[in-house]
Amino acid sequence: MKRLTVVIGVAALVSAGLFAEELASSPISDAGAAAGLNVQNEAAPADDGVLSAQEISKSIEEVDGIKVFAEVLKNSSDTVASVASASGVTVLAPVDTVADSEKISKNIADYIVPEKLTKENLESKNSVQTLSGKVLPVEVSDTAILIDNVEISDFSSSADDKVAVCRLSGDFSEKSLALAE
């Protein structure tokens, strides 16, 4: 009888593990994610090419001069749930001295490019497409790089290698963003 109880107990544990694994990859959990339910452990970094707003903001919070942007991004998970990109993402973050948190929060997806950019590959582009779908013009001169008529003051790396930061000397104007649509 003890042997039968042990066999049944082991079978139950194995079945429970298999059930949990299948549930995690089922359409039910995908539906839960679509409904806004958190089905992944937020502490674990995404290795599937998808970064949440929380992961991006945590990654950039130590970059000097963009604390306002990082805070707005951290609080915008209802607007920017996640970004899918195999190469990473680039945040176009206005520096704190000129950042308008209200304007940024209204247009946060206009400040995120679902591609990790470097200064070199940005200089070879005519435009970049943001998470919102807007195409922003890129202009390169001998002295500056402009995105949507806003000068990039510096390129930085974040705490992890999936997020690049372009510190902007100003906010994007709502007028120019409307024209970019």
∠ CA 46-48-51, nearest 5°, is: 45
Compute the half-sphere exposure of residue 37: CA atoms within 13 Å on the CB side of its CA. 9
Mean pLDDT of 35-51: 47
> How far is residue 115's CA from residue 98's CA, in Å, rounded to a whole number?
25
Instruction: Answer yes or no: is pLDDT of 9 > 50.
Output: no
Contacts of 134 (CB under 8 A, 6+ apart): 110, 177, 180, 181
Mean pLDDT of 44-49: 52
Q: Which is it for the CA torsion 71, 110, 33, 35, positive or negative?
A: positive
Give me the pLDDT at residue 14, please.
41
> How far is residue 73's CA from residue 56's CA, in Å, rounded to a whole number?
8
Give me the pLDDT at residue 170, please.
87
Hey, where are the domains in the chain? Answer: 2-34, 50-180
Instruction: Answer yes or no: is pLDDT of 106 > 70.
Output: yes
**50-180 CATH fold:** FAS1 domain (2.30.180)
Give me the pLDDT at residue 140, please.
93
Q: Which has more confidence, 67 or 158?
A: 67
Q: Which has more confidence, 147 or 12?
A: 147
Give me the pLDDT at residue 157, please.
72
The lowest-confidence range among 70-74, 92-96, 169-173 is 169-173
Give me the pLDDT at residue 133, please.
92
Instruction: Answer yes or no: is pLDDT of 41 > 50.
Output: no
- Phi/psi at 9 (5° precision): -65, -45
The string of pLDDT tens digits covering residues 118-155 is: 888 899 999 999 989 999 999 998 889 999 999 998 88
Q: For the chain, report the end-to-end CA distance as a whole number of angstroms.
A: 73
Instruction: Answer yes or no: is pLDDT of 96 > 90.
Output: yes
Mean pLDDT of 8-19: 44
Mean pLDDT of 163-169: 91
